[in-house]
Amino acid sequence: MEYELNFTVNGKKISLQVGKTERLLDILRNRLNLTGAKESCGEGECGACSIILNGKLVNSCLVIAPQVQGGVVETIEGLSCKEAALLQEAFVKTGAIQCGFCTPALIMAAKDLLSRNSNPDKKEIREQIAGNLCRCTGYEKIVLAIEYGARELRNDREGVNSEKPIYLDRQGSGSS
């Protein structure tokens, strides 16, 4: 307990005593009980700890307390109900979740992309999730999930009812 950290997490101002080189990942998980960000590699390679800091997607295992001072952090727990529901549903419906360990980070990566580009193509999605490893799914379904989630979010914004679900567009790749 040596460093007073003031920052905003999911819209809430927070003041905490933390270690000077304590990682944001540990602050979120151990002190704030926000366990959506996961630790896997701890070295910036896997993306399981992805969160949004000051509007940018970063790996929270590579960020320490002084870098967060006065900053704004968004985690999976802070998604709006609508966003969370639609993106989660997209992942479930496309079969993009197996063990689920990588999912919160992938949804944050998706949110980050969709905040800049509401209608990304497959290539843009692949580039966005290049730093998020998944041991289970093989990525095809994750790309599909983000495509589907993006469409649902656009439709929701425009008040349109979805037509045929995207996860059935490609033969054999959908599960329901």
Ligand X SMILES: Cc1cc2nc3c(=O)[nH]c(=O)nc-3n(C[C@H](O)[C@H](O)[C@H](O)COP(=O)(O)OP(=O)(O)OC[C@H]3O[C@@H](n4cnc5c(N)ncnc54)[C@H](O)[C@@H]3O)c2cc1C
Q: Which of 9, 28, 109, 146 binds other proteins (CB under 8 A)?
A: 109
Q: Which range, of 10-18, 36-44, 143-151, 167-175, touches ligand FES by CB under 6 A?
A: 36-44
Q: Which range, of 65-73, 90-98, 142-150, 166-174, touches other proteins by CB under 8 A?
A: 65-73
Q: Which of 36, 59, 68, 153 binds ligand FES (CB under 6 A)?
A: 59
Determine if 146 is a binding residue for other proteins (CB under 8 A). Answer: no
Query: Which has the closest alpha carbon to 43: 143, 133, 107?
Result: 133
Q: Which of residues 31-50 bind ligand X (CB under 6 A)?
A: 44-45
Helix (H) or strand (E) holding 31: none
Q: Which of 56, 81, 158, 161 binds other proteins (CB under 8 A)?
A: 56
Cβ atoms 10, 75 nearer than 8 A = yes
Q: Find the shortest distance in angstroms from Cβ 127 to ligand FES.
A: 17
Q: Find the shortest distance in angstroms from Cβ 132 to other proteins.
A: 8
Query: Which has the closest alpha carbon to 40: 100, 92, 91, 89?
Result: 100
Q: Cα(82)–Cα(50) distance, rounded to whole angstroms?
A: 21
Determine if 138 is a binding residue for ligand FES (CB under 6 A). Answer: no
Cβ atoms 141, 173 nearer than 8 A = yes
Q: Cα(65)–Cα(22) distance, rounded to whole angstroms?
A: 6
Cβ atoms 37, 49 nearer than 8 A = yes
Residues near other proteins (CB under 8 A) are: 3, 20-21, 23, 42-45, 47, 50, 56-59, 61-64, 66-67, 69-70, 109, 112, 127-128, 130-132
